[in-house]
Chain A
Amino acid sequence: MRKKVYIHDVSLRDGSHAISHKLDKHQIALYCQAAEKAGVPSVEVGHGNGLGASSIQVGFSRLEDIEMLSIARENLTKTKLAIHVMPGFTTINKDLKKAFEIGVDLVREACHCTEADITERHIAFARDCGKEVIGALMMTHMVSKEILLEEAIKMQSYGAEGIVLYDSAGAYLPENVREKISYLVSGLNIPVGFHAHNNLGMAIANSITAVESGAKIIDGAIRGFGAGAGNAQLEVLAAVLEKMEYETGISLYKILDAAEIAQENIIEELPTIKNLSIISGLSGVFSGFSKPVSRVAKEYELDARDIFVELGRRKVVAGQEDLIVEVALDLKKKNSTFNSSSNG
């Protein structure tokens, strides 16, 4: 019997980052129809930072969460409708209850990789409502496999039915994936998954390594449509897994058709690995920092790459964007000290 891998499609959520969260109803409907036809098991929809995140802080969505989820629900039957949820952005009363009324099937409950404690209430609420819940640990390159397992055990205890490790900065090499995924697989009773970013061009290779290490859930985005350098390209994943004789339930031709549809109607610019994405991956800094770093670098006449490297040294995480200016000021000061001592 062929081994099964569950491919979870994040195009309409992670891809929102790439178009400043400006998905419209037509795009959501078109892509959901195409994904449904292709037999994609689940499609995640919403603002790039998840349910309830639309704000001045991380950018406003074109549509309200409810509008996005409703239109997706209308166009998904067998394919599960999924949401990305982060405590801090998402609240139970304001967001989750409404999403469940619309008919969301699957919740990705996400948090920074050392903060699983904050997911307990959301997971309990979603499980009480009969929803399937998968825990998502983000920025997992920052900590050891032992810490990841401890945090994953917390989510498992709260009721998560799977744990996905997010390589949010695209910083992993296959050996890192192998080490962490296999450790979690042996330490948990629930399936383990992997969410890749392509900053170092490793998204597909890392995802396949994850599968070979025991992962049963792999995230992909059509044409790699995701934040920064993008995610693991879903149609490529489907093809490679087909070649490796894994069962994904996805029709290859139809997912290729979906990719054409997405490219023509949704994706403004195909994801490429830009210089800053490479530096972001090497530094282990979340790709979402690219735009503010570029802006601050220009303002302070600094090399954006230097800022990224320093941010990586300081181990910043999403939500600490205000540190960018502090780092720029420190670099500026260091540069002027160096220049004056060189001159003097």
Chain B
Amino acid sequence: MDKKHIEFLKKDCEDAASWSLDMLEELKNKKIFIAGGTGFLGTWVAEFITYLNDNHQFNVSLTILARNIDSFKNDKKHLTERKDIEFISKDIRNLNELSNDVSFIIHAASSPDNRIHVSNPIDTISIITKGTDNLIDSAFKLPDLKKILYVSSGQIYGRSIPSNKLISESDFGPMDCNKVNSIYSEAKRLAEATCCAYVSQYKLPIVIARPFSFIGPYQSLSKPWAINNFINEALNKKNIRIIGNGEPIRSYMYPADMVVWILKILASGKRNTSYNVGSPYGISLKNVAEKIVQFTDSKVDIDIKYNNDDSSLYVPDISLCQNDLGLKINYDVEETIRRAISWFKL
């Protein structure tokens, strides 16, 4: 990663820190263990924590567990060549024990990439379910365990919420467990149920985050999601193709907001409570494409194929996080897309 990218991230971290320092006091001088720490969410946590250590004396140490850390080490030397981050290359299913000085755990091990879910459904289930069991078992004996944050998914709400309203933490829709594309969400549901069981039986301090959609630094444009494809097409001067009618409503949180939310939920989330993490500002895919054309200044057309009549809404209600944890959104839709494009253009 070059200097331009690092400076960009530093600015994002400065902005995030400007409103969140007091909220994250509980994390100071603690050790955080992140399973799946080389993914999008884990990398942002590492980025922000190291910023807080360097600029605000947080003195947090991180242990990052991932199956393959080689490419991460090559790409992100500004994170890997530090003394406050330790790496463990291991499958979460083979984890035996955690260091006694771990106080906080973030369990983010599992990819949200649906290509992986349909190609390797058994492994997908196994990582989520066995990984969760194994990690919580390993955390059991920690003498100073403050909190385990399980990173679930907004996808657990199912495919069709009855009314066209923002999705709150209790709005569960139907899900067909016999479909391969339900594998990920069903496994996530089971993992949440596992967390609930440990809380109930052993009173473990587990809290759950349900991330929705994000766009910005540390995301890959080759991910198979609409906004990633649109930006990729516009930056490559290709027409933006929308498979359906352009009417589905989605929302996108900027990662600098996300990382504060995740850490605040880790620090202060109530035991056995699930929190939506995402932007409440819905936007149709057609409007997303229009904004991308505008902000990339690309002379490309938007080709709406009208191959389906999906007009679903996948936008979180975030009032729980706002009211109970004092969290807020700092980047609206336009700013999120604009800043994400600036990053991808670097």
Contact = CB atoms under 8 A, between A and B. Distances in A.
Contacts, number: 55
Contact of B307 (A153, A157, A158, A189): A189
Interface in A122-173: 124, 127-130, 132, 150, 153-154, 157-159, 161-162
A216 interface: yes
Given A124-B222, A158-B224, A189-B307, A150 B236 contact: no
A186 to B, nearest CB: 11
Given A161-B305, A189-B307, A153 B181 contact: yes
B203 interface: no
Contacts of A129: 236
Nearest to B225: A159
B76 interface: no
Interface string B221-249: 11010000100110010100101100000
A186 B310 CA distance: 12
A161 B241 CA distance: 9
Interface string A211-230: 00000100000000000000
Interface residues of B, number: 23
A159 B221 CA distance: 13
A153 B182 CA distance: 11
Interface string A226-255: 000000000000000000000000000000
Contact of A161 (B233, B236, B243): B243
Interface in B213-272: 221-222, 224, 229, 232-233, 236, 238, 241, 243-244
Most chain A CB within 10 A, of B114, B243, B310, is at B243
Contacts of A190: 243, 307-308
Contacts of B244: 189
Interface stretch (B101-109, B115-123, B138-146): B115-123
13 contacts: A124-B115, A124-B224, A127-B222, A128-B221, A128-B222, A130-B238, A153-B181, A154-B115, A159-B229, A189-B244, A189-B310, A191-B307, A216-B307
A158 B232 CA distance: 15
Contacts of B232: 127-128, 130
Contacts of B241: 132, 161
A159 B228 CA distance: 12
A117 interface: yes
A120 interface: yes
Contacts of B180: 150, 153-154
Contacts of A130: 232-233, 236, 238
Nearest to B220: A128
Most chain A CB within 10 A, of B118, B244, B310, is at B118
B308 to A, nearest CB: 5
A157 B181 contact: yes
Contacts of A127: 222, 224, 229, 232
A220 to B, nearest CB: 20
Nearest to A129: B236
A335 B63 CA distance: 71
A132 B307 CA distance: 14
Most chain B CB within 10 A, of A124, A130, A159, is at A130
A189 B224 CA distance: 14
Interface in B19-68: none
B283 to A, nearest CB: 19
B336 to A, nearest CB: 22
A136 B247 CA distance: 27
A284 to B, nearest CB: 26
Nearest to A118: B119
A150 B179 CA distance: 8
Contacts of B305: 161, 191
Contact of A154 (B119, B221, B238): B119
Contacts of B236: 129-130
A156 to B, nearest CB: 9
Contacts of A153: 118, 179-181
B119 A117 contact: yes
Given A127-B224, A190-B307, A190-B308, 7 more contacts: A124-B115, A124-B224, A127-B232, A130-B236, A157-B114, A157-B115, A161-B241
A223 to B, nearest CB: 30
Nearest to B229: A127
A310 B256 CA distance: 63
A158 B115 contact: yes
Enumerate the 4 nearest inter-chain pairs by beta-carbon distance, A residue then B residue, closest first: A130-B238, A154-B118, A157-B114, A157-B118
Interface in A162-201: 162, 189-191
Contact of A189 (B179, B222, B243): B243
A124 B180 CA distance: 20
Contacts of B114: 157
B238 to A, nearest CB: 3
Nearest to A159: B224
A154 B229 CA distance: 17
A229 to B, nearest CB: 31
Contacts of B307: 161-162, 189-191, 216
Interface string B282-314: 000000000000000000000001011010000
Nearest to A216: B307
Contacts of B181: 153, 157
A150 B119 CA distance: 10
Nearest to B309: A189
Contacts of B224: 124, 127, 157-159
Contacts of A132: 241
